[in-house]
Structure 1
Amino acid sequence: MSIDQRFIIEMGMGNDLYGMDYTKAAARAIEDALRHSSIPMFEALGISHDMMHVQVTVGVAEPDKLDLDALTAKLPRGKATVKGVKGGHNSANPATGQTIVIATAAVEAFLPFQG
């Protein structure tokens, strides 16, 4: 039995300034993490992106308010799963009562053992 090996982990941060939309903040955190990645090994080694499993963990103050299906659908490659955990931060402005939602994301990619 082969074990998948993690070959990349990227972190990102995103926010929603005005709508307290946890999914929007999470999507921005995932996009931020993805912008830090370029993986030329797929083309160099002739490996299909379909072999890759992408595991995303998003931290927000209220993870039950995440639309995990919408977040999963936005991932461009591989077989993706997204889970929400308690984390991130809500920052309230005492003068206006407006709350900024801040999300963090860890995007991990795995492939079957290649050796």
Structure 2
Amino acid sequence: MSEQQLILEIGMGADVHGGDMTKAALRAVSDAIRHSSMSVFATWKVPNRMRIEVTIACPDPDAVDKAAVAAALPYGTVEVICQQGGLTDTGMGGTADTTLAVAGVRAFLDTERSPFRLRE
């Protein structure tokens, strides 16, 4: 297999009131993919051949609904990895606390099965 990483985008998302890790993660993924146009996949008619790896860093990684995060990506096979990170701003107290999540979205493609080749 000749899988190559073609895209890496970073995003940040917040749940301003409530500490909802999934909401913050979804906003981080949305932020990341809005910064990128994956036109190479559509141009070569291979968007479903992408393998997408999403890494979410947030204060409570076990509270992230990985299936909901994976469903936020429109194409490809998606793997979601959650780890400790992000930020909780407890300055306001209770439901006014803010939770921040960071997302790294990487897209890979097996270039042996694609109509183009990457230069070495």
Note whether the superposition's TM-score is higher than 0.5. yes
- Which amino acid is the alignment partner of residue 19 of structure 2? M
Distance between the aligned counterparts of 1:8 and 1:65, measured in 2?
27
Residue 33 of structure 2: SS of its match in structure 1?
helix
**1:35-46 to 2 correspondence within 5 Å?**
35-44=34-43, 46=44
**1:45-60 to 2 correspondence within 5 Å?**
46-60=44-58
- Which amino acid is the alignment partner of residue 86 of structure 1? Q
**1:1-115 to 2 correspondence within 5 Å?**
2-44=1-43, 46-94=44-92, 96-97=93-94, 98-114=96-112, 115=117
Distance between the aligned counterparts of 2:6 and 2:30, measured in 1?
19
Shift of the alpha carbon at 1:47?
3.4
Distance between the aligned counterparts of 1:109 and 1:69, measured in 2?
18
Q: Number of paired residues?
A: 112
| Structure 2 unmatched runs, 5+ | none
Please tell me the root mean square deviation across aligned C-alpha atoms, in Å: 1.4
Instruction: Specify whether residues 88 and 41 from structure 1 end up closer, same or farther in structure 2 by C-alpha distance, changes over 3 A only.
Output: same
- 1:37-66, Cα deviation, whole Å (9 max, x unpaired): 11222243x231111101000000110111
| Structure 1 unmatched runs, 5+ | none
- Which amino acid is the alignment partner of residue 51 of structure 1? R
Output the TM-score relative to the length of structure 2.
Answer: 0.86
- 1:69-90, Cα deviation, whole Å (9 max, x unpaired): 1111121111111111101010
Distance between the aligned counterparts of 2:87 and 2:16, measured in 1?
12
* Identity, % of aligned positions: 38
Output the TM-score relative to the length of structure 1.
Answer: 0.90
